[in-house]
Structure 1
Amino acid sequence: MRYLKLAATAVVVAVLTACGGNAEPAAAPPPPNEVTDPAPPIEETEPSAEAPQVDACALVTKADAEKLAGTPLEDPVPVRETCRYTGPVSGPVAQVEVYVGDGAKKILDVDRDLDHEFETLSGIGDEAYLEDGAVFVHAAGVWVAIRLVRLDDPARYHKPLTELARTVADRL
């Protein structure tokens, strides 16, 4: 039953990720009239202090992911605030996914709505939670979700997930 819930969560996350954009493309602005429309000044902006930019692949390195999965993994594939490490095509089946920011918190919220069982991890970041195949960490104002896909007993990975959560919280 837990595996069914985990699969349902993956589908929900995929749909939410795919549906994140506006369905209608934005209309292109008219070209500026060089005589009447002067070019707007370019302002440099600095990243918000409220939401620090965090590189998901630097937060969980390939070595970290391989230690967690217990097997060699391919090089990371970063996409926006995520990073994915997959097992080689020759096997074994393994994948480590790292989500940073609002998406990480959303995965936690969806899993809670699906009545997943969580263990609160004390002493890690501001708050941290462990479930079969995933760990969630909130530290320095940033949410991080780390998900592990393996085909054996998820309880086998509770300790490595907890250790990686502590490492990630320290890096934030």
Structure 2
Amino acid sequence: MSLAPLQQRLSVPSRQLGAPGPDAAQLDALLEAAVRVPDHGRLTPYRLVLVRGDARQRLGEATAEIHARNEPGAPAGALAKDRERFNQAPVIVVVVARVTAGHKVPEIEQVLTSGCIAYNLLLGAQALGFGAQWLTGWAAYDRDVASLLGLAANESITGFVHIGSVLQPAPQHPRAALADVLGEWQG
């Protein structure tokens, strides 16, 4: 057994991803594996929305329109970034948290389940030889964007996971030293 997939995991910036993306069989296998997450109470507090092909450009245009409407003085560069944000990677998986309020399973546990899916997508994409990046940004927290994607009132965007072929090597970032983040409680 090897911890290499975890030890080598890194995010590839979405602007460094391109075609080809996973084929249909690879994508199905990736998504099936990604949803094998801890799910206290078996609530299935998540769902996935695929954005591919021309829909990527349409999502970017709609996102830019929402941004301009919400912030009339938004800089042109920010709106241009919105228009292009979904155009690099051939596949974007919108991971959605679907929270059941008032359930015995705390809401935070339900949201964490969807976060596990986003992380599994990163690991799985890399295992298949692709790159991936989990992004949020303002659009992940905007109710108009959520409505655009068909989310219900009890749903929120956990992240946009961009998946594609790595066009250039991803930068390595410093990681926290284990000694700086590990403690031991001894009662």
Asked if TM exceeds 0.5, the reply is no
Higher helix share: 2
Task: From the CA coordinates, give the structure whose radius of gyration is larger.
Answer: 1
Instruction: Report the TM-score when normalising by structure 1.
Output: 0.27
The one of the two structures with greater contact order (alpha-carbon pairs below 8 A, sep at least 6) is 2
